[in-house]
Structure 1
């Protein structure tokens, strides 16, 4: 069988969630399947060592172009040129009116719930508009739709009025390099990025759903009580955006306690997690919440939200807060700071919880779906 996998952005330098999940899917399929012929379609970029070709996995560089053109023209054309038996699109969207049997990984449909035209970066706004245009036009023709959690499955089925069985759940997993790091490695990372000895960790993002403003309000409450004695490390966020947010809530005094290392490659994240007092993930809405598990796997206690998918992913291995109430975030931080027994309990539960999510298991289920397309075509 000739299988195409859309992995358009995996060679870009600054990879994020969907890109990293696609990389893990491909690497685990390479371990599993030495029979079918795979064509991995990517946009040419700088990080060419992300994946490597093998005897039955070919990497196809399509014409470098903006995502809509790349997907709607070049990817669609490639599906015919390479005589694919199926095409798996991994990042929410796919070519419209394609005749090749289509499998879609639909991570979420948040962009169909609200549009955020006046918030987030221009890149995020344009991406949401593109998804709003494409997704309703392709989902009903898909052979199978994968999503990442039971919560998101219910959201998708309700929105599109799908019958049970159309949407399947393949949970994200935890990459093998997410594990506790020794003190020497953590110290090297602290020195490299100028991190404080004691800090809370947050993955920054301009998307309003990440609730950075709510977190900053919570930190301000702690600072006003003169109890913000640790540093705050916010990854992948710029100083100008931070100053604007802090000024909007009259909290510019927090600037001296916040450290901005910028974008961090995924392989260095375990050291950031391992060195943190806690990982803060007070998001307003998630389809999964992969960093929750990554932090747990590195023995980092987690504070996360009691909304959408996050309680189902964290279970009882994290402190759950109301992300719309900054006081609940600040209370959780102070509680975790003071209670060593609670920290140890969360660390132990987190390690066990993270072990329940495997990319290899997910790839096995995906491969079975690929084979079901072949059986259906006979």
Structure 2
């Protein structure tokens, strides 16, 4: 196998779905016997050493905790470490790449909503990721995307060469994301202050493309006439102004809980304990929270947009992203325990089709193509 250097130092500080991608991939590459070197933040060195005991762990300087410093160091520091490690290929798992490494480079492009829906991102952030994506697609030997929908969008938006794009679906850690027991549900819901109250769950960044304001309004409409309405729990960080505004609009009897980032060990109890996990996103590169909720036995409501049908298949319920559609679909699920039970069981079965081991094999094939 080729010696691969993975630049895990690029993982953002918010440590959401991307960290689960990088962690899951590195652990699976190790299980596959890959000859692996991992560049990382100093604070992550111990964790990557546990995930991949045979890998060479190469912490970067303390200064790269600053994003601007990391991006500058990526151009010189990562190539230097790659040469020290004797790497044959560099994998950049988060859009940006070193441009003059002297080695074949593989880059992961997670989605293209920076181009298709720039208004749903901050101006500075969208501008940076558009530039990084254009550069990476132009200069990397191979581009890895997490879904066929993302590959099609990349070809459509940037006229990227489809023969240089490899699809590698994400996996789900079945030991971490599993159908929870009552104690796990109780522990997770107590941390959210629910005290046994039924709830609908959302997990993800509270950013515009996740469509959380419409979820809040649709939820409020769906539960308005229920004698004992469930709560809506928004697990995730970054409270957007639009989310605050939507919360102010709903009646005082509608309970919306925002616990912020949830601990990873609490996620199975949080997702698996929900009446419904609602994820009405306007577009995803993959949609890892949908897969993780399915693996926890939760009935899932999502949209037909971009990659989400590739993940959910026939094992989830679908809605359009507007308020009336969300209210109708959510109301129907809340009124049908039998439908929710069927979706939960179907989701458990489908989630087993997505493994990090299969993802690692797809990545290894892409690395080899880059070298060739």
- TM beyond 0.5: yes
**Corresponding residue of 1:340:** 337
CA drift at 1:55:
6.1
**Corresponding residue of 1:216:** 216
- Tell me how far apart the structure 2 counterparts of residues 292 and 205 of structure 1 sit (CA, whole Å): 13
**Corresponding residue of 1:6:** 7
- Listed as ranges, the matches of 1:353-368 within 5 Å are 353-368=350-365
**Corresponding residue of 1:21:** 21
CA drift at 1:228:
6.7
Cα contact 1:232–1:259 (8 A) shared by 2: yes
Cα contact 2:213–2:243 (8 A) shared by 1: no
**Corresponding residue of 1:311:** 309
**Corresponding residue of 2:244:** 244
- Tell me how far apart the structure 1 counterparts of residues 152 and 18 of structure 2 sit (CA, whole Å): 20
Structure 1 unaligned runs (5+)?
A: none
CA drift at 1:226:
4.9
RMSD value over aligned CA atoms? 2.5
- Tell me how far apart the structure 1 counterparts of residues 242 and 230 of structure 2 sit (CA, whole Å): 18
Give the TM-score of the pair, scaled to structure 1.
0.87
**Corresponding residue of 1:180:** 179
Task: Show CA shifts across 1:197-222 (max 9, x none).
Answer: 20000125232100011111212323
Structure 2 unaligned runs (5+)?
A: none
Q: Number of aligned pairs?
A: 364
- Tell me how far apart the structure 2 counterparts of residues 202 and 83 of structure 1 sit (CA, whole Å): 44
Q: 2:101 aligns with which of 98, 111, 130?
A: 98
**Corresponding residue of 2:73:** 70
Give the TM-score of the pair, scaled to structure 2.
0.89
Other structure's SS at 2:47 match? coil
- Listed as ranges, the matches of 1:219-230 within 5 Å are 219-226=219-226, 229-230=229-230
1:203 and 2:203 matched: yes
Distance 1:252 1:294, change over 3 A: same
Q: Which has the higher contact order (CA 8 A, sep 6+)?
A: 2
Task: Show CA shifts across 1:288-317 (max 9, x none).
Answer: 111111111111101101211112221111
- Listed as ranges, the matches of 1:49-198 within 5 Å are 49=47, 51-52=49-50, 56-63=54-61, 64-65=63-64, 66=67, 67-116=70-119, 125-176=123-174, 177-197=176-196, 198=198
Other structure's SS at 1:103 match? strand
